[in-house]
Structure 1
Amino acid sequence: MGCCCADFHPQMKLTMVDEVNERTHLLSDPVSNNYSISASTADYGNHYSSSVPQKSDEQSALNRILQQTANNVIDVGALECHTLEQHEYIDRVRTYNQRLQNLPTTKILSKPQGGPVLLADVPAAERILSAQPVTFADITLINTACQKSVAALASVKVEHKEDLVVPFGIP
């Protein structure tokens, strides 16, 4: 698997007869216009029938490749269009938001236990992306505030002045 010419290599073809691979038909009834491209002798003309054989091996191989290619083509233009009308889209958004409101907030805010997440869902991404970007001065202000708070936390020291457990005079 992985060889782009696996169909033309006879040993590879024998081992991959029933194996699911990139050549396996995924659609039960692909909307490919399965035009049966059959090569007849009339297509090539009988002008030189005495000097050229009716169908050479090279021509039959080319016709076989053309037939296989035509069978593997899926006509995307003939597939159903899955576009949503605006009111359908709005209804789906409303339904989605209602279902989110019904969920407990602990489920929404909790991170999966599988480790750090590279991608996370951002609600209303178009609003976030269309907002004004953070200025460099603001970023610098945030960085210096973080550095100062880290330095302040690092300098905090606890001094032991009295006992933490105080015995009460209970006999």
Structure 2
Amino acid sequence: MCVGDRHLENVLVSARGEACGADCGALRRGGELPPARLTRALLALAPDPESRLQNTIQLLRESKLVLPSISVAFKWMGGMYMDELRYVTGLIKGTSISHAVTIEVISKSTQPYREKYVQLLEDVFRDFDAKELYSVEEQVSSLLLQCTDPRILSVTRASWEPWI
């Protein structure tokens, strides 16, 4: 859920024509507004992304091994990733939601225009109420809106190029 940039070196397309992200640097949250950029071209390769994401998140929530495995991996990778573990854990458990994580990370950054980015996200997600626990459907709805909303996609960094 933390995929930032998409280019030919980090998008895999299967023999069946399905696309998935592949990027070891994706675990670092660098203050990008969308966790992924789902353009029409990418969505054409991903049939029914909503139900597929819901199934995946539900499986992650039900798994007894995912969070311990992620914790070990993050500890092995070192200190710069340990701050990210809290965000990933919250997303998997349902105690956090994608756009709220992005708002928090950008608010703490020194990124130029961070106040404007936070305001944009708050405007886009004004109908999402803060909760202690989010349903899988709410999490997927937030994630897909964050990845496809034209207002958010329009302010991505200029160096990003849509290869697909």
TM-score by length of 1: 0.22
TM-score by length of 2: 0.23
Greater fraction helix? 2
Larger Rg: 1
